[in-house]
Amino acid sequence: MKIGIIGSGIAGLSAAWLFNRAGHGVTLFEKHHTLGMDAHSMTFEQEGIALRTDVPPRIFNVTQWPNLLNLYRELGVACDPIDPSQSFSLLGQPNFLNVDVAYQPQLPEGLEITEQLNQIMNDVARFALGAPQDLADGLFVQKTLADYLQDHNYSQTFIYDFLYPILASTVCTCSYDCLNAYPAPVILQTLLNLFGSQPLLRTKYGTQDVVKRLSRGIDDIRYGTTVCAVNLTPDGVRVETTKGQADIFDHLIVATQANQAQNFLSNPSEAECNMLDAFNYEDVPVFVHQDPALMPVKYKDWAHINLIIAQDRSAAMCCVWMNRFNPDWQIDQPIIQTINPVIEPQPDTILAGYNLQRPVVNKQSLAGLELLKQLHQHADRRIWFCGSYAAEGVPLLESAVVSSLRVANRLSIQLPDTFLPDNI
């Protein structure tokens, strides 16, 4: 088969790898001049040394990301446990909590237990005991996270000094409004997968190594090429680019964000429009910088991952100390990556700034997934959709890989034995 793929994020790349491995001709379109998954990574010089950093720095574990890890094993991608230290503080104030073992709260050294810490620890223990049963009972399937937390009487301290900072600045990278509307079962399952004892991992040689392995052997990669029109014709799916090229494919895999796909589908069906409209996105600002004002006030309290909460507790940012994320860096000066900043770094400390996007997960997006499932069941389907938005759960590398495995499976592509059909 002749397969066209639009987008070379992890979804498009894993689809390309699966189809190429099965002997099909793959053409990959990417609007960036590098593979999309690695498009925001940057190379810079510090203290006379050339360094490369992933943007964003992506982490995973075996429980929440089983298919991603299978893929990385198939590809021979080396993975390393990360330093699990996390700190929690209000902006401009000393740390009130440190977490050293996968989201297990501990007292900061030398500090006395406070009412705030008592509440957090009690509610974390209550959550760890109650959430698995609540999930098994399925009584709150239709509830939002806000409703679930209210029904179970979780303290405001647990929610705004612990849970929401973790979710909004790391796991989901979204606003608190978006968190409130998240389907409760999605968050509960994700948290239980994270709260366990499985170490958090990173790829040892960065995203550049992953994309090299995924794209090996794919001869027709059109870099710097934006697809502007897609039409179904009697001969197949016709894809046009802004460079004036046109190609016809037996099947086309749309592996862009859902909101980007709407720009080039020329005559989408009503069902396709309804499906794509169900997925909204939020902007996620990210800075790579050297401003210590965004970090915990005392240098000795800096952890690998620092969650800094706005004074009015309406938002939280995550400041990753990249020197810890990359323990092989031989430099003295700190490099920090801040996601969803509650204050911006001083302009002269900024090495790079990006505006990324993340899909919003709510009742409407769950309905969108049902519509997608129905679309993909049509026997004569030629245009397929994958991406982190296109599978259940928090949109992560895992959901993106699952979505491309599903498309490959639907087109009868033999998957590596390590992928269990039940998991996709």
Binding footprint of ligand FAD on the chain (CB under 6 A):
6-12, 29-32, 36-37, 39, 56, 58-60, 173, 226-227, 255-257, 260, 264, 284, 286, 339, 356, 358, 387-388, 395-398, 400
User: Minimum distance between the CB of residue 364 and ligand FAD, rounded to whole angstroms?
Assistant: 19
Residue 306 makes CB contacts below 8 A (sequence gap 6+) with 86, 87, 89, 295, 296, 318, 319, 320, 321
DSSP at 361: -
- ∠ CA 209-214-218, nearest 5°, is 125
Choose between 28 and 149: whose C-beta lies nearer to ligand FAD. 28
Judged by beta carbon, residue 7 or residue 341, the one nearer ligand FAD is: 7
User: Residue 14 Cβ, how far from ligand FAD at the closest point, in Å?
Assistant: 8
Distance (Å, whole) CA 252 – CA 242: 17
Using CB atoms, what's the residue nearest to ligand FAD?
36
Q: Which helix (H) or strand (E) holds 368?
A: helix 363-377
Please, what is the minimum distance in Å from the beta carbon of residue 255 to ligand FAD?
6
In whole angstroms, the minimum distance from the beta carbon of 214 to ligand FAD comes to 11
Would you say 29 or 127 has its CB closer to ligand FAD? Answer: 29
Q: HSE of 198 in the Cβ direction (CA atoms, 13 Å)?
A: 18
Which residue bears the tokens 């902006």? 91
Specify the residue, 56 or 165, whose C-beta has the smaller distance to ligand FAD.
56
Shortest Å, Cβ 275 to ligand FAD: 15
Which is nearer to ligand FAD, 70 or 257 (by Cβ)?
A: 257
CB of 286 to ligand FAD, least distance (A): 5
Q: Which is nearer to ligand FAD, 58 or 406 (CB)?
A: 58
Between strands 42-46 and 49-53, the pairing is antiparallel
28: Cβ–Cβ under 8 A, 6 or more apart, which residues? Answer: 5, 8, 12, 13, 16, 215, 218, 220, 221, 222
Query: Which tokens sit at 403?
Result: 């979505």
CA 369 to chain centre: 17
